[in-house]
Chain A
Amino acid sequence: MAGLSDLYQEILLEHNSKPRNFRKVEEANQTADGYNPLCGDQITLYLKVIDGVIDDVGFQGTGCAISRASASMMTQSIKGQTVEKAKEIFDAFHHMITEPDGELDLDTLGDLETLSGINEFPTRIKCAVLAWHTMNAALSGESQVTTE
């Protein structure tokens, strides 16, 4: 059984208190709103995609420490990446959180690996994946996504 320290790692708490890219991207050309109706967590994700590369990314919204830190770390990991690579990171992250079989693609995940403890807290998985589903929606041209 994972304890609180596995969930609330220092890096997560640090991203929660100082989220990166927590801003609107004025020149965004792909944006989406994510909403978790169960808990009220809400995120707007802004992507500026040029020639298949995520040139800039930002997010705004309200949510718990897990959803906020997950969103912050996601923006760091996808900024400057190709859309294709961002989807690869999504797959690796989603796998880590929802199918905890111990097989982690550490090269793709990087720092995101520190969020793996969330898979021990089923009620908090939705918090962790909200930003990621929102990114997927934005990249697929959908403007809204909900998780429940």
Chain B
Amino acid sequence: MTTVFDVNKVRDDFPILKQWVNGYPLVYLDNGATSQKPQSVIDAIVNYYTTTNSNVHRGVHTLSQQATDSYEGARAKVRQFINAGDDREIIFTRNTTEGINLVAHSYGRQNVGPGDDIIVSNMEHHSNIVPWQMLCEEKGANLRVVPIDDTGELLMDEYEKMLGPRTKLVSITHVSNALGTILPVAEIVEMAHAHGAPVLFDGAQAVPHMPVDMKELDCEFYVFSGHKLFGPTGIGVLYGKAEYLEAMPPFLGGGEMIKSVTFEKTIYNDLPYKFEGGTPDIAGAIGLGAAIDYVNDLGFDWITSHEEELLRYGTEALSSIEGLKIIGTAAHKSSIISFVMDKAHPHDIGTILDEQGIAVRTGHHCAQPVMQRFRIPATARASMAFYNTKEDIDALVKGIDQVLEVFS
């Protein structure tokens, strides 16, 4: 049975939400860019630096052992959170971007050659376009782009047609950051595997909002950032199937990722350390572990039903505003509402909302090809998290009234 939480009690766990901005209570609707942190995450980081700070996997002393236990404990939490089979399959990175670059540099350079194909979609974040463009340029490979329809749905027929023996990787977003579309990930994997192609999902916008299960999904790689999942910045995760990670060369060379070094030969460390060169963000990983604990306590049953209601309420409210158009109207959406207005440019919308304490993102959302697809320069985007309320949406609507007043 779903436990129903009082959202106002949940909000009490997030000190930043009590703030006033420009004379108004903060209405934070920019969770797609980064999420706020509960007190338990802040405490975990402070506690680590106050009591445990030490380097991991190095010393024989007590603090080093405690730091190692906490760091590896965080890895186990991540593994459970995404239901992966083995801690060795969880690589800590800085963020989603680094995870994708790791796969491009390591797996990509090893396996992609002239004339091969890498498939992405028209609704990728730049971080899931540029690393592949760089790889394709280096290797003489082709970047194939699956088109989307006017609602922001992936055209699955076109995707299936693109798959073939030259497909070396399918790298697609799980949830679109600019449109909110939730992609049919199970079908994407099934079709790719039918052609022997591995799949990477950019889960940055998915993991804060819905359960993901690596065993069930069966993708080869899955990447996300800690800071969008209510954890700190500077920590991210790459999940990879062990047999893939084992076969891949290291990404960053240095300390931590080696077993032994001589000037003649270096023997690389085992998974996951092979991919974690240098001292990692230990406090970040521990903070991420605390964030996962927090999300688990709330549970996705409540989180998804609360956010679905916010999305329904917000979509209805914004749709009824004259001259406002929602960009991204897929049937299955995460709690993201991107919009444009006839009379006001997104940046003007953003400034006028900010003057009322309302934080939204404006611009191209690091997804310029999406903007080009819809022939718009930018959008304003309200992206909700579980701590948002219907009152936040009401404030947004009132804020937009002010935009209309200025540009009347």
Q: Do A and B bind each other?
A: yes
Query: Residues of A at under 8 Å CB distance from B?
Result: 1, 3-4, 7-8, 13, 38-42, 62-66, 121, 123-124, 127
Check: B59 CB closer than 8 A to any chain A CB: no
Check: B104 CB closer than 8 A to any chain A CB: no
Beta-carbon contact of A39 and B362 below 8 Å: yes
Beta-carbon contact of B364 and A7 below 8 Å: no
Q: A52 vs B244: C-alpha distance in the bound complex, in angstroms?
A: 66
Residue numbers in B under 8 Å from A62 (CB-CB): 377
Check: B248 CB closer than 8 A to any chain A CB: no
Q: How far is the CB of A39 from chain B (nearest CB, A)?
A: 5
Query: Residues of B at under 8 Å CB distance from A?
Result: 22, 344-348, 351-352, 355, 362-364, 368, 371, 377-378, 402, 406-407
A64-B347 contact, Cβ under 8 Å, with A3-B355, A40-B364, A40-B371: yes
Residue numbers in B under 8 Å from A39 (CB-CB): 347, 362-364, 378
**CB-contact partner of B351 in A38, A40, A63, A124, under 8 A:** A124
A65-B348 contact, Cβ under 8 Å, with A4-B355, A40-B364: yes
Residue numbers in B under 8 Å from A8 (CB-CB): 348, 352, 406
Beta-carbon contact of B377 and A65 below 8 Å: no
Residue numbers in A under 8 Å from B346 (CB-CB): 64
Beta-carbon contact of B348 and A41 below 8 Å: no
List 14 A-B pairs, Cβ < 8 Å: A4-B355, A4-B402, A4-B406, A8-B348, A8-B406, A13-B406, A39-B347, A39-B362, A64-B345, A64-B347, A65-B345, A66-B347, A121-B351, A124-B351
Q: How far is the CB of A127 from chain B (nearest CB, A)?
A: 7
Residue numbers in A under 8 Å from B345 (CB-CB): 63-65
Q: A121 vs B351: C-alpha distance in the bound complex, in angstroms?
A: 9
A65-B355 contact, Cβ under 8 Å, with A13-B406, A40-B363, A40-B377: no
Beta-carbon contact of A13 and B378 below 8 Å: no
Which of B22, B345, B368, B377 has the most CB atoms of chain A within a 10 A radius of its CB?
Answer: B345
Residue numbers in A under 8 Å from B351 (CB-CB): 4, 7, 121, 123-124
Which of B347, B368, B402 has the most CB atoms of chain A within a 10 A radius of its CB?
Answer: B347
Q: A121 vs B22: C-alpha distance in the bound complex, in angstroms?
A: 12
Q: How far is the CB of A47 from chain B (nearest CB, A)?
A: 24
Q: A110 vs B88: C-alpha distance in the bound complex, in angstroms?
A: 67
Residue numbers in A under 8 Å from B363 (CB-CB): 38-40
Q: How far is the CB of A112 from chain B (nearest CB, A)?
A: 19
Q: How far is the CB of A64 from chain B (nearest CB, A)?
A: 4
Residue numbers in A under 8 Å from B407 (CB-CB): 13, 65
Chain A's closest residue to B356 (CB) is A4
Beta-carbon contact of B347 and A4 below 8 Å: no
Q: A39 vs B376: C-alpha distance in the bound complex, in angstroms?
A: 12
Q: How far is the CB of B106 from chain A (nearest CB, A)?
A: 29
